[in-house]
Structure 1
Amino acid sequence: MARDDDQEELARRAAGGDRVALDTLLGRIQPSVLRRCARFLPCYQDAEEACQDVLLQVARNISRFRGQSKFSTWLHVIIANSSRQTYRSLKRRAVEQAHGVPPIDVPDARTTSVIAGSRLDLLDALDRLENRNADLVGPIVLRDICQLDYREIAQHLGIPEGTVKSRIHQGRARVREYLGAG
């Protein structure tokens, strides 16, 4: 627990403008950020790209961290959003390559790993859900991928815990439908 308290203190100091605290914080969270990005993205290089984006966003936006929720919760949201954005960017690049840009010889993760394919299918399902009901995506990502508890999610989103549970239930049902529809 001392390490979590230390991280919270570093975040508080960094938010107050302490550059040394920010540098220390970034160094400490980098391995964890990379692991969490890899939960979303099946290719290690893509996870590294998302990780670098997360660290950059933390550095740029730490002054906005007010301590209303735990730093780890704030960080989880940045990780989830950055990983999903990296995935969308990769999808766009793949579409562009399919339309005349010379392809880069990268194997399709869906054919090289069942786990990787499942992650990509989940990201596709979350994108579909976001286009139809964006309120359901955040709670699912925070619970099922970032593994936050209901109380932390409710606090971060500023909604009652019962609403969080309801949105997770509804969102999971929709995601299951999308995954089944292929």
Structure 2
Amino acid sequence: MALDELTEELARSAAAGDHRALGELLARIEPDVMRHCARILPYHQDAEEASQDTLLAVARNIGRFEGRARFSTWLHIVTANCARTTYRSLKRRAAEQTSEELPMQKPDVRRVSVIAGSRLDLLDAMEALEADKPDLAQALVLRDIVQLDYSEVAEQLGIPLGTAKSRIHQARKYVQGVLGEDYR
């Protein structure tokens, strides 16, 4: 999500309470948010749901954007978190369905698409990491999903560079352990 300076300025204005700027900002970021959600979630409808959740979260929380980092970084984090939340919600809903309530189920993507199945496995691993070690999950999201460099991760988390590198390394090891031998 490479956002331009105009978008950054709109974000700062929206954070200061400018409702017109917020409307423009949401319209500008919507396509990028959708693309990012579609890279995380295997089904288009699920990505659309996560995209709408992201835009709603941006609108509700723009006042919390402090401008210390670029808006694009903040948006990446919000988008990744909303996509993971949507995935958890869909997974929970699927688990709650009984066999009698399975009218038109989607096919199991783990059998249909290697890429989609891998994404679901990775989302499961990230969910486990977040539940067990949230500090590691946050560092990993910033580095591997948001694609910040190590110094930016350290700055965002307010920790020393060495600590950021260590957390990312530990998080990757954890995720590899959850994913198992097939992913090494």
Give the TM-score normalised by the residue count of structure 2. Answer: 0.91
Partners of 1:31 and 1:59 in 2: how far apart?
16
Return the letter of the residue paired with 2:83. Answer: S
Residue 108 (structure 2) pairs with residue 108 (structure 1): yes
Task: Note if contact 1:14-1:22 (Cα within 8 Å) is conserved in structure 2.
Answer: yes
Distance 1:95 1:178, change over 3 A: same
Partners of 1:120 and 1:165 in 2: how far apart?
26
Q: Which residue is equivalent to 1:27?
A: 27
Instruction: Mark the runs of 5 or more structure 2 residues left unpaired by the alignment.
Output: none
- Return the structure number with greater relative CO, CA threshold 8 A, min gap 6: 1
Q: Which residue is equivalent to 1:75?
A: 75
Comparing 44-53 and 155-164, the one that deviates more: 155-164
Instruction: Mark the runs of 5 or more structure 1 residues left unpaired by the alignment.
Output: none
State how many pairs are aligned: 181
Distance 1:38 1:102, change over 3 A: same
| Secondary structure of the structure 2 residue equivalent to 1:23 | helix
Partners of 2:52 and 2:13 in 1: how far apart?
22
Task: Note if contact 1:111-1:117 (Cα within 8 Å) is conserved in structure 2.
Answer: yes
Q: Which residue is equivalent to 1:39?
A: 39
Task: Note if contact 2:3-2:72 (Cα within 8 Å) is conserved in structure 1.
Answer: no
Question: What percentage of aligned pairs have identical amino acids?
Answer: 61
Partners of 2:34 and 2:76 in 1: how far apart?
12
Q: How does 1:54-133 map to 2 (within 5 A)?
A: 54-98=54-98, 100-133=100-133
CA RMSD of aligned residues (A): 1.8
Return the letter of the residue paired with 2:162. Answer: G
Deviation per CA, 1:144-178: give whole Å up to 9, x if none.
12212222222221112221111110110111111
Partners of 1:145 and 1:97 in 2: how far apart?
31
Give the TM-score normalised by the residue count of structure 1. Answer: 0.92
Q: Which residue is equivalent to 1:50?
A: 50
Deviation at 1:100, TM superposition (A): 4.9
Distance 1:104 1:96, change over 3 A: farther
| Secondary structure of the structure 2 residue equivalent to 1:66 | coil
Task: Note if contact 1:34-1:47 (Cα within 8 Å) is conserved in structure 2.
Answer: yes
Distance 1:28 1:99, change over 3 A: same
Partners of 2:114 and 2:56 in 1: how far apart?
31
Task: Note if contact 1:39-1:145 (Cα within 8 Å) is conserved in structure 2.
Answer: no
Partners of 1:3 and 1:141 in 2: how far apart?
19
Comparing 150-159 and 35-44, the one that deviates more: 150-159
| Secondary structure of the structure 2 residue equivalent to 1:162 | helix
Task: Note if contact 1:129-1:174 (Cα within 8 Å) is conserved in structure 2.
Answer: yes
